Structure 1
Amino acid sequence: MSIMSRKEFHDEQAAYDYVEARVWPHGATCPKCGEHERVSKMGGKSTRIGAYKCYKCRKPFTVKVGTIFESSHVPMHIWLQAIYLMCASKKGISSNQLHRTLGVTLKTAWFMSHRIREAMRNENGPFGVGGGSVEIDETFIGKEPGVTKSKTARGGAHKMKIMTLVDRDTKNAKSVVVDDLTVSTMSKVITDNMAREARMITDEYRQYKLMAKDVSAEHDFVRHGAGEYGRGDIHTNTVEGFYSIFKRGMRGIYQHCGKQHLHRYAAEFDFRYNNRSAKEISDTVRADIALTGIIGKRLTYETIGA
């Protein structure tokens, strides 16, 4: 039987029950005051699905309150379909595709996808705890707003810039959008996300050599310019493999992304990478993990930059 035939993808009450079981594993909890004992489900024919009342603060609520679903008129079972599709699509799924598949407007599909990406954002780290190895690399994508391509500037000067760290032990990735590739900017990203005792592995980019003694206990690098792509366990193949999926998705699926949204797209690819099938995490489990991140991640059209 197709996974998309499951009851929570088609029945609204089943969808609410599914979300409640994952967001409230110990029972309904009031998002206003945190009460979970003096709470009861509201009855009556006119009562909306999933409504509860807190008898401490006297406020009604549903599992949507305080989450990415708040104030959304999209049915919960449609939200669950969207979350599953985004979590199961290795290189992402466009808003146009969600619009056609789910039967919602393009604007609604775009807004839903950004809310789901916000739920996927997770502060992993620090990487390399205990002296583990961390691969670090940078990549260029799209066009930096307000920057014109110059014949004298370096190849990626007019493009948006992303730094990614991959922890070889936990096999997790963290991508950060940066404005430039100066030593101060790059070293801050590394110190914010990597343990001081970690072993840093990079390519021969000069900036890493300049900051190495200040950000890591050990620094090894490969010389791509000399045709060297691996020397024992010294390589950046893992982070470059991450980028191969990221760029295929950004160029082939999403095609264009404004810089104000790039951090969420990066978080989406980080999330799927960190919860991938190689870790024996199925599409269903990945979608359930995404559901645990919906709390406190509410976005509006204004805050999302529409």
Structure 2
Amino acid sequence: MSVLSKPYFHCEEAAFAHLEAALWPQGPVCPHCGSMGKHYDLRKTRLGLRKCAEKACRKQFTVKVGTVFESAHIPLAKMLQATYLMCSSKKGVSSHQIHRLLGITYKSAWFLTHRIREAMRDGSLAPMGGGGGIVEIDETFIGNDRTKKPKGEKKGRGYAHKHKVLSLVDRDTGQKRSMVVDDLSAKTLLPILKENIAKEARVMTDEAGQYGKLSATFTGGHGFTRHGQGEYVDLVDRTIHTNTIEGAFSVFKRGMKGVYQHCGKQHLHRYLAEFDFRYNNRVKLGCGDTERTERAMRGIVGKRLTYRGSRVAA
């Protein structure tokens, strides 16, 4: 039986019950005051509605309050379908496809997909490469020849006008972390690397000049390959390569070019979060489509994205 035939993808009552079980495993929690188990059941008035019994609160709530789904006018069952589709599609699914599949407007589908991407952002700050682990570092460029350039600059096929993305992959844990950067100078990248990578880590890069002084920063050492000379794995030490992160970039590039086709810089951080989330919760790490979707749903709590806010840089 298809996963998408499950009741909570089609019935609103089942959808609310499923989300409540995921977010409230020990019973309803008031999102306004945090009290547990003290509420009035108003579900006969409106599906999923409850009222806090604390005298200092007395506010009404549903499981969607305090999450990225708050105030959404799309049926919850359809939002759960969209979450599953985005989590199970290796290279993403476009807002136009969501609009056609779920029978909602393109504007609603666009906003919904951004809500789900916001839920996928984990905000992890733990340093990578702890205990002397290996961390691969590389950068890539996103955009095409139609990407807007500064006024007066000649058009061409260079990469200076494209969006710059820096990514890190912890080879031991299989976790990936990506961020948009303004430029790729050592002055810009080094503080970011120090903040995200443990000092004892062993780092791997290509021969780019901005990585030239990493051995003085990370005590585990700095290995690099000379891609310009056709070297992708060191012939003496086979652990020196950036093939892991190159493979992750290949999926990201195919998704951005083949599925999403264009992305403004103000939204790129959420697309990076989407691809990082799927990479960090992939089958190789023991996480299937259903479990990946459950993890994304647990990530909706404590986040809010308004339509106006999703139109500008976050």
Establish whether TM, by shorter chain, passes 0.5: yes
Decide which moves more: 72-81 or 138-147: 138-147
Aligned residues: 304
Q: Taking structure 1 as reference, are residues 25 and 149 closer, same or farther at Cα in structure 2, changes over 3 Å only?
A: farther
Aligned partner (choices 269, 287, 298) of residue 281 of structure 1: 287
Matched with 2:131 is 130
Q: Does 1:14 align with 2:14?
A: yes
Q: Where do 1:57-76 residues align within 5 Å? A: 57-76=57-76
Aligned partner (choices 256, 262, 269) of residue 263 of structure 1: 269
One-letter amino acid of the structure 2 residue matched with residue 271 of structure 1 = F
Matched with 2:247 is 241
Per-residue deviation, residues 59-79 of structure 1 (Å, max 9, x unmatched)? 110011010111111111000
Decide which moves more: 237-246 or 120-129: 120-129
Q: CA deviation at 1:296?
A: 1.7
Q: CA deviation at 1:152?
A: 11
Decide which moves more: 183-192 or 258-267: 183-192
Per-residue deviation, residues 103-138 of structure 1 (Å, max 9, x unmatched)? 000000000000000000012331101110000000
Decide which moves more: 207-216 or 157-166: 207-216
SS at match of 1:257: coil
SS at match of 1:235: coil
2:214/2:222 contact within 8 Å kept: no
SS at match of 1:70: coil
Per-residue deviation, residues 226-279 of structure 1 (Å, max 9, x unmatched)? 211002110000000000000000000000000000000000000000001111
Matched with 1:213 is 216
Matched with 2:80 is 80
Whole-angstrom CA distance in 2 between matches of 1:179 and 1:215: 23
Whole-angstrom CA distance in 2 between matches of 1:220 and 1:238: 14
One-letter amino acid of the structure 2 residue matched with residue 104 of structure 1 = I
Q: Does 1:118 align with 2:118?
A: yes
Q: CA deviation at 1:148?
A: 6.5
One-letter amino acid of the structure 2 residue matched with residue 53 of structure 1 = K
Q: Taking structure 1 as reference, are residues 224 and 119 closer, same or farther at Cα in structure 2, changes over 3 Å only?
A: same
Q: CA deviation at 1:24?
A: 1.1
Whole-angstrom CA distance in 1 between matches of 2:229 and 2:208: 12
One-letter amino acid of the structure 1 residue matched with residue 204 of structure 2 = I
TM-score (norm 2): 0.93
Whole-angstrom CA distance in 1 between matches of 2:64 and 2:118: 15
Q: Taking structure 1 as reference, are residues 148 and 169 closer, same or farther at Cα in structure 2, changes over 3 Å only?
A: farther
SS at match of 1:221: strand
Q: Taking structure 1 as reference, are residues 86 and 234 closer, same or farther at Cα in structure 2, changes over 3 Å only?
A: same
TM-score (norm 1): 0.95
One-letter amino acid of the structure 1 residue matched with residue 78 of structure 2 = I
SS at match of 1:170: coil
Q: Taking structure 1 as reference, are residues 27 and 159 closer, same or farther at Cα in structure 2, changes over 3 Å only?
A: same
One-letter amino acid of the structure 1 residue matched with residue 28 of structure 2 = A
1:145/1:259 contact within 8 Å kept: no
Q: Which runs of 5+ in 1 are unaligned?
A: none
Report the RMSD for the aligned CA atoms in angstroms.
1.9
Aligned partner (choices 189, 193, 196) of residue 192 of structure 2: 189
Matched with 1:101 is 101
Whole-angstrom CA distance in 1 between matches of 2:18 and 2:273: 25
1:160/1:259 contact within 8 Å kept: yes
Whole-angstrom CA distance in 2 between matches of 1:216 and 1:305: 42
1:199/1:216 contact within 8 Å kept: yes
Whole-angstrom CA distance in 2 between matches of 1:145 and 1:109: 25
Matched with 2:53 is 55
SS at match of 1:176: strand
Whole-angstrom CA distance in 2 between matches of 1:172 and 1:4: 28
One-letter amino acid of the structure 2 residue matched with residue 73 of structure 1 = H
1:29/1:35 contact within 8 Å kept: yes
2:202/2:218 contact within 8 Å kept: no
SS at match of 1:174: strand
